[in-house]
Amino acid sequence: MKNLYGFSLEQLEEYFLSIGSKKFHAKQLFSWLYEKRITSFEEITDIKKETLEILKRDCSLEPLKIVDVQEDEDVLKYLFALSDQEHVEAVLMKHDYGNSVCISSQVGCNMGCAFCESGRRKKVRNLEVHEMVLQILMIEKEFGKRISHVVVMGIGEPFDNYENLLTFFKIINHPNGLAIGARHITVSTCGIVPKILEFADFPLQINLAISLHAPNDALRSSFMPINKAYPLEEVMDAVKIYLKKTNRRVTFEYIMLKDVNDSKECAEELCRILKGINCYVNLIPYNETENISFMRTSTIQIMRFYDILKKNHIGVTIRREFGGNISAACGQLRSKKEDV
């Protein structure tokens, strides 16, 4: 039995045709799901009873279960229980431009980045499409306000769940779905080169962020195992192809690790590899966890790094910090229920 929140509009059209019904029922059902926000099939009044009975037989409206909510200033962290009793976390961030949700795409993660709490647990499985969509829907319902921006930067490597990710994008972007603008949606990858190249042909203008974190192979491989499969030169070549096809600026994420990747030399080397590329660098103050030994770069050193990039005409920002007090910040989310 498939959850209805996992169907794109096109997939629903195919489904209704497959059961001998009419294609236009797909738009009607999308309206019930995403505009009227029904919780039961009995609320649907414009699809005939016989078709609804087949729909109830084949599909479900089962929600996720919110197990816990923690709050810290402009952040709310949600712990979700999935139908198989696995757990993932998502984070709501309140901005002056709207409300943004950072969702998870997998239970666990196989990328093994040494600085990341989320990756301490190996991948258990991909999240289904409906499990990603429902993170947003249930946060909207609980929070009581519209979600205007979505980032896929929670637990998991999104491009390791590629097909489900694309369907998710189609649902949340569709005007009859959640109607979130493509330019308000961002996906982050640690550098799976074949998927970066595929994503260049995806028709929606979703923002792409690359988790870079080091300016050379030796350093990057020391804490990001993915670099051994897809070295930095291959990642950068893929990014250049992506830029040529899409003409969209790419973000490079760079976590500032004390005495690891925060030196003047690292900043200068980063400038050299990014020269001439339509991009900006998002410097991320590291969020320390009790299980990982990396330490946070000082604010003074982050500003020195920032200044070097600025002087070399590299667009750069320093990420605003959210949720560190409740382990809701970048790299701190978990996919296993612990004491809350």
- Enzyme catalytic residues: 89, 330
Instruction: Give the whole-angstrom CA distance, residue 82 versus residue 131.
Output: 8
Strands 87-95 and 98-103: antiparallel
Instruction: Give the whole-angstrom CA distance, residue 89 versus residue 139.
Output: 11
Q: Helix H segments across 174-231?
A: 193-199, 217-223, 226-229
Tell me which residue of 138, 129, 137, 127 sits closest to 178, measured CA to CA: 137
3-state secondary structure of 12: helix
CB atoms within 10 A of CB 63: 16
CB contact at 8 A, 90 and 103: yes
CA triple 132-162-2, angle to 5 deg: 50
Q: Tokens representing 20?
A: 């001998």
Crossing angle of helices 299-311/264-274, nearest 10°?
30
